[in-house]
């Protein structure tokens, strides 16, 4: 009996086995990543300009830059994002994000900002060699201008709760099997305040006419949370996803998941819902350059330019302060 070796078939089998292995690994590490989400809660999102390390530089001696976005989304986070984008100028740098969620309105505003700038985004984190393993970004990593030199990685990165709404703004949206995307119900908090007024009025032709009205006291009564969305709120959310090119089925996943839990979105569901545009890791996104039409990010990142090519010239890169809130 003769056996024939088919290289293309063998490569496809190896590729399938690799994805199977990474899926098993993801199931094993998911509880740890969920704990990491809780640990990150409360730390406001910080934007950093990152310069790629020597190992990520291309054959033409150019090194990739990207924007690191890690932490909880607050009401003022869009302002910080606008500030760092203004500092990097016209360069369309990819964003590498890891966030437990936060303010829904702010997340949607940031999505509109990066869509307008036509930026790409990946679920991932950034690590500097100047820092210990347990603290990927530490004070020793910062240069005088506030930027850092580092490398992106996907393992342990999360994009939960309101973060996927921010994520939808990227023109290219990628996530690795070692990073997690997840959603749950939107929680709205209402505060009740009792306000007292002193009103002066006079009677004119038997009718009361107000002369002055002044607030004399304000007392906080309490607050309550609700996960119910009225028709107007749901319509705004659906319209937002439609504009971002994401399937409105994402809303059903959100509303069907208790706010105390997280619905982890599988790689296939993320593609089906158009939440991701293709499966790739953060390193591939920041390494990709001059991609051809319909070329995948992974293939584009793997095709390094020839050393015989003349280096391209352009406007000098401007230095940017990394901490947008600074």
238-263 residue pLDDT tens: 999 999 999 999 999 999 998 889 99
Residue 153 confidence (pLDDT) = 94
Residue 60 confidence (pLDDT) = 64
Residue 53 confidence (pLDDT) = 83
Hey, what are 104's tokens? 């829904």
Residue 4 confidence (pLDDT) = 41
If you average pLDDT over residues 13-26, what whole number do you get? 40
Residue 104 confidence (pLDDT) = 93
> Residue 146 CB: number of other CB atoms within 10 A?
17
Q: How confident is the model at residue 215 (pLDDT cuts 50, 70, 90)?
A: confident
23-49 residue pLDDT tens: 433 333 344 443 344 334 579 999 999
DSSP state of 305: P
| Residue 216 or 24, more confident | 216
Q: How confident is the model at residue 224 (pLDDT cuts 50, 70, 90)?
A: low
User: Would you call 298 helix, strand, or coil by DSSP?
Assistant: helix
Q: How far apart are CA 12 and CA 268, in angstroms?
A: 18
Work out whether strand 148-153 and strand 46-52 pair parallel, antiparallel, or are unpaired: parallel
- Contacts (Cβ under 8 Å, ≥6 apart) of 263: 182, 183, 184, 253, 254, 256, 257
Domains of the chain, earliest start first = 29-187+227-301 (3.90.226.10), 190-223 (no CATH)
Residue 278 confidence (pLDDT) = 92
Enumerate the β-bridge partners of residue 95: 67, 121
Q: Would the pLDDT of 315 be above 60? A: no
| Residue 115 or 190, more confident | 115
| Residue 21 or 171, more confident | 171
- Read off the pTM: 0.73
CA quadruple 46, 48, 54, 55: dihedral positive or negative?
Answer: positive
- Contacts (Cβ under 8 Å, ≥6 apart) of 13: none
Q: How far apart are CA 31 and CA 37, in angstroms?
A: 10
Q: How confident is the model at residue 189 (pLDDT cuts 50, 70, 90)?
A: low
Q: How far apart are CA 244 and CA 170, in angstroms?
A: 8
137-148 residue pLDDT tens: 999 999 999 999
Please give the mean pLDDT across all residues of the chain: 79
Provide Rg for the chain, Cα atoms. 25
Residue 41 confidence (pLDDT) = 54
Hey, what are 304's tokens? 């390094």
């Amino acid at each position: 009996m003769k056996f024939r070796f088919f290289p293309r078939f063998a490569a496809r089998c190896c590729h399938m086995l690799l994805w199977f292995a990474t899926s098993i690994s993801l199931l094993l590490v998911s509880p740890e990543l969920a704990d990491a989400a809780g640990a990150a809660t409360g730390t406001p999102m910080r934007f950093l300009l990152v310069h790629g390390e020597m190992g990520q530089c291309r054959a033409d001696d150019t090194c990739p830059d990207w924007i690191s976005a890690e932490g909880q989304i607050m009401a003022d986070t869009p302002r910080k994002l606008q500030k760092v984008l203004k500092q990097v100028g016209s360069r369309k740098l990819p964003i590498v994000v890891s966030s437990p969620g936060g303010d829904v309105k702010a997340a949607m505003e940031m999505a509109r900002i990066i869509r307008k700038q036509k930026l790409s985004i990946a679920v991932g984190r950034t690590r500097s060699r100047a820092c210990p393993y347990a603290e990927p970004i530490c004070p020793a990593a910062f240069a005088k201008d506030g930027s850092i030199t580092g490398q992106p990685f996907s393992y342990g990165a999360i994009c939960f709760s309101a973060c996927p709404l921010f994520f939808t703004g990227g023109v290219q949206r990628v996530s690795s099997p070692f990073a997690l995307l997840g959603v749950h119900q939107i929680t709205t908090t209402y505060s009740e305040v009792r306000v007292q007024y002193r009103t002066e009025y006079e009677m004119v032709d038997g009718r009361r006419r107000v002369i002055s009205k002044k607030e004399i006291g304000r007392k906080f009564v309490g607050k309550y949370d609700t996960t119910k969305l009225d028709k107007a709120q749901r319509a705004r959310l659906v319209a937002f996803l439609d504009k971002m090119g994401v399937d409105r089925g994402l809303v059903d996943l959100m509303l069907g998941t208790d706010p105390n839990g997280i619905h982890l979105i599988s790689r296939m569901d993320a593609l089906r819902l158009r939440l991701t545009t293709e499966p790739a890791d953060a390193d591939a996104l920041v390494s990709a350059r001059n991609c051809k039409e319909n070329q995948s990010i992974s293939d584009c990142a793997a095709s390094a330019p020839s050393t015989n090519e003349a280096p391209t010239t352009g406007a000098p890169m401007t230095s940017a302060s990394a901490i947008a809130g600074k």
